[in-house]
Amino acid sequence: RNDYGSVVVPGVGEWEPWLSVSVVLPAYGHQEKLDLVLASLAAQSYPSRLLEVVVVDDGSPEPLVLGPVVPEHVRLIRSSGGAWGSAHAVNCGVAASSGDVVLRLDADMLVFREHVESQLRWHHRLDYAAVLGHKLFVDWVPGRHSAERVREEVAAGRAGALFDPATADTHWI
């Protein structure tokens, strides 16, 4: 029950970031979903010079590849041997990262344009904070969206138009 009400964070788009961020994506299979999350990360409001994405393939049966639309600074690595699972893949991604801050996302999340910026504005004020975000679960329909369309809609601030909010499931933090 920490109270951060006294912490003043700037509004989205009303500040100049300086911290670098490494977005770590542990991934296992589901190439099409990975392509869409990378496309949404390619359209972030956070400056691309400060944003790196590290995708960690955790031993997918068919090795993952970087899709057609990716952020400017993105790498795909394989998790190290001897262990497996999401936590191990995250550790491998963090070890390969260079950012001041680590932002962990799932490889099937489509993030809105301001997602990274919204998270990082807190880290610019508090170097000890663990920042949470909200997510909705929506039905997955293979082939519904191309990576190009996702990037276009996210860049235009219309990520919400890519799904029907009325069909969204439980809201998680």
SS3 string, 43-92, reads: CCCCCHHHEEEEEEECCCCCCCCCCCCCCCCEEEEECCCCCCCHHHHHHH
Distances (CA, A) of 116 to 3, 28, 44, 166: 22, 23, 7, 25
Query: Taking the model in full, what pTM does it have?
Result: 0.93
- Superfamily covering domain 21-172: Spore Coat Polysaccharide Biosynthesis Protein SpsA; Chain A (3.90.550.10)
pLDDT tens across 111-168, in order?
999 999 999 999 999 988 888 877 777 878 899 999 999 999 999 999 988 987 777 7
The one-character DSSP state at 11 is P
pLDDT tens across 82-112, in order?
888 999 999 999 999 999 999 999 999 999 9
Q: Scanning the structure block, which residue is given the tokens 């409001």? A: 45
